[in-house]
Structure 1
C-alpha cells in the first residue's frame, strides 16, 4: 500500500547548498489520499475491534461471579447512653452488604430526620470485601418519638424497616452500674488495706514477743551466774 501510495504521488526533492541537506515534498491531493486512509482504517479497525471484544469477554467471564455477587446487609439499631450529652445516642449500622450502593435512612415518627442532625453516613470497606455504613443521632432522655431505621439494597426484595426498642431507664442503669463498680473497687482496696495492717500488727506482735523472751532468758542466765 505504501509503495502504491508513493507511485501515485508527485515527489519533489530540493537540495540546500548551504548546509547540504535535502527537502522532500510530496504533492498529493485529498482525493488521492482518502482511499489509502480508508484502507488503513478498515485494516486496523477490524483487527483491534476483534482483539478488544475478545479481551472484554474474557474479563467479564473472569469477573462474572464478583459482578453478580449479592450479600444482604446485617442491621443493628441500638441506643447507648451519652453521659456527656445527658441523653442517648441512637445508631443504625448496616454491615456485610455487597454491592456497595445502599440507602440507609433514619425516620422520626415516619418522617426523615434532617441531615444536619445526623452524624456518620460514610461508606467503609470490610476485610472480606463487603461494606458497612453507620448513621447516628443524639436525642434527649425525655424523647418520646418513634425512631425507625429504613434500609434498601439490591440484595433485599423489599425495604427493611427496624423500629428502635427504646429503653428510657438506660441512663439510670448506667449510673447504677458505675456506682456499683466504684463501691466494689473501694471494698477491694479497703480489704487489701485491712489485711496489710493486720499483717503489720501481727509482725510487730511477734517481734515484741521475741524481744520479751530474749530479755527473760538473759535475766535467768545472769541470776545463774551470780549463784
Structure 2
C-alpha cells in the first residue's frame, strides 16, 4: 500500500514537471496575427474602408483606401514579405472594396433610411505554435453588433442574431468559403510565418520581476509575482515551496497583457490558507531572455504599502495639518478682534490712568 502511494506521488510529480517544460516549449514559439477591416457606406456608395494588421500586439501596417496603398509600419517587413507578396496583397484589398460595397448595399436595403451610414467590420485572427496553425477565427460585425463568427477548426458559421440567419447560406457558398480559406491560409498564417522566419519584430527584453507578500483582512497570506517590460510575450511563472512544485493555495493570473511600449505584463498571485504563514516560497520565472529559470524569493515580512497608498497618507496628513493651522489662525484672529472690541468699549482697561503729580 505504501509502495502504491509513493508510486502515485512520483507519477503525479513527474507529470507536473513534464507539463511545465512542455508548456515552456509551446509558449516559446507562439505568435498571433490579427487583421481588422472596417467599411463605412450607404446603400448608394462606399464612403471609407481601412484595414490594419497586428502581430503579437505590434502594428505591422495599414491599408489606405484613398491611395489604394499598403503602408508598412516597420521598414524591414517589406524585405521579409517581398515585392510580389505585397503587390498581391494590395490587389486582394482592392477586391475587398467591391466585396464590402456589395455587403453594405445588400444589408442596408432592408433599412428604412437609405441615406444612413452603416459600418461593416471583419475581424480575423490566427495563431501558430512551432510553425503549426493552432487557432483561427473570423468575426463579422454590423453597426457594432456581431452577427456571425467561425472557428476555422470547426468550419461552421455561428449565427449570433436570429433575425439575420437568412444570410448564412451566402457565407457557406463555395465562393465565400474559398475566399475565407485563402485569406486565412495565405494572408493571416502565411504572412506571420514569413515574418517569423525572417527576423524578430523587436529586440528581446528580459522581464523585470517584483515579488511581494501581503496579509488580507481575513488573515490569509497573499503572495504576488509581477513581471513587466518583457518581449517576446511568451513567459512562464510558477510557485515553488522549499524548491518543490505543488498546489499550495488559490492561484490567479492577470493573463499576459500588452504595455504601451509593445512589451508585456503578467502578474500571478497565490492566496494561502490561514494556517500557512508563507515561508520558503519562491517565484520561478522562465523567459527566453533569462537563459535559465530565475528564482525570486518571497520577502519574509509583509511588503510595504504601495507608493500610491503612502503618497495618499502623506497628502491626508498635510491636509490635516493645514486645517489645524487654519483653525488656529482663525481662533487667534477672533481673539484679537474680541480684545480690540473690549478696548474700544472700556478704554480705561486698555491704558491705566497716570497718577497726578
Q: Of 105, 108, 112, which residue of structure 1 is paired with 2:241? A: 108
Q: Check whether the contact 1:71–1:97 (CA below 8 A) recurs between aligned residues.
A: yes
Q: Are 2:241 and 1:117 aligned?
A: no
Cα distance, 1:80 vs structure 2: 3.4
Give RMSD over aligned pairs: 4.3
CA distance in 1, matches of 2:277, 2:209: 23
Tell me which residue corresponds to 1:77.
211
Moved more, 90-99 or 184-193: 184-193
Tell me which residue corresponds to 2:298.
164
- After TM superposition, where is structure 1 displaced by more than 6 Å over at least 4 residues in a row? 178-187
Cα distance, 1:160 vs structure 2: 0.7
CA distance in 1, matches of 2:209, 2:250: 21
TM-score by length of 2: 0.36
CA distance in 2, matches of 1:120, 1:102: 13
How many residues are aligned here?
157
CA distance in 2, matches of 1:184, 1:64: 57
TM-score by length of 1: 0.53
More helix by share: 1
Cα 1:187–1:97 shift into 2, 3 Å: closer
Q: Secondary structure at the match of 1:133?
A: strand
Tell me which residue corresponds to 2:259.
126
Tell me which residue corresponds to 1:94.
227
Cα distance, 1:86 vs structure 2: 3.6
Q: Unaligned 5+ residue runs, structure 2?
A: 1-80, 86-189, 306-311, 349-357
Q: Check whether the contact 2:213–2:302 (CA below 8 A) recurs between aligned residues.
A: no
Cα 1:115–1:99 shift into 2, 3 Å: farther
Cα distance, 1:107 vs structure 2: 1.6
Q: Rg bigger for which structure?
A: 1
Instruction: Deviation per CA, 1:30-79: give whole Å up to 9, x if none.
Output: xxxxxxxxxxxxxxxxxxxxx9995379x947984434742211111122
Q: Unaligned 5+ residue runs, structure 1?
A: 1-50, 172-177, 215-227
Cα distance, 1:167 vs structure 2: 1.1
CA distance in 1, matches of 2:202, 2:321: 60
Q: Check whether the contact 1:86–1:141 (CA below 8 A) recurs between aligned residues.
A: no
Tell me which residue corresponds to 2:288.
154
